[in-house]
A = this chain, B = another copy of it.
């Protein structure tokens, strides 16, 4: 018997997934072909199907890993020790930089796909629910601490914040040449006024 190296297997799987993600970002989930992914991952189709049962499985795996990553960032954000408004604004800057580096990626494709494919939809909705819970709890704590307006609805405020991530992705597509520093300033104004304790 030959020993199975689970770690090696997982690593290769991740490499293929990364290659697939590049292809999907370039041509969309249904526009990219298995042949292109094979070329990008330097693997034969037969071998690829040793790692993934179907193209759909690759799509859901990418959706899942992308959302897990985002959720981890949200968690990290909610554990930050600075006050809520400053943390939000600095997170906004991080988002902006990440976008400048990597472009919109596959999030818009995931959103479009989630609207019609129940499986992708379920993955997105679960992840979104989790993130909203994290954020809402964070807001509640901040309200108790007197950082932000105690009259705000934490659940709905959290939903707004999450949808602002999507808005940011869409924005770079609509306005590729937008002065992001200037935009960030106005966005910061809006969030400060929204969150701040009203007099």
Contacts and interface: CB of A to CB of B under 8 A. Distances in A.
B28 A112 contact: yes
A181 to B, nearest CB: 10
Interface in A149-199: 152-153, 155-157, 159-160, 162-164, 166-171, 173-176, 178, 182-183, 185-187, 189-190, 193-194, 198
Interface SS of A by simple majority: helix
A184 to B, nearest CB: 9
Contacts of A155: 182
A125 to B, nearest CB: 6
A104 interface: yes
A171 B131 CA distance: 13
B173 A185 contact: no
- Count chain B CB atoms within 10 A of each CB in A31, A163, A175 and give the residue with the most: A163
Interface in A100-115: 103-104, 108-109, 111-115
Contacts of A73: none
Contact of A170 (B129, B163, B174, B183): B163
A66 interface: no
B183 A159 contact: yes
A27 interface: yes
Contacts of A164: 167
A109 B29 CA distance: 11
Interface string A10-48: 000000000000000111111100000000000000000
Given A124-B174, A156-B183, 18 more contacts: A26-B116, A29-B30, A108-B108, A108-B115, A125-B174, A125-B175, A125-B176, A129-B175, A152-B186, A156-B186, A160-B183, A163-B174, A166-B167, A166-B170, A190-B190, A190-B194, A193-B194, A193-B198
Interface of A: 25-31, 103-104, 108-109, 111-116, 121, 124-125, 128-129, 132, 152-153, 155-157, 159-160, 162-164, 166-171, 173-176, 178, 182-183, 185-187, 189-190, 193-194, 198
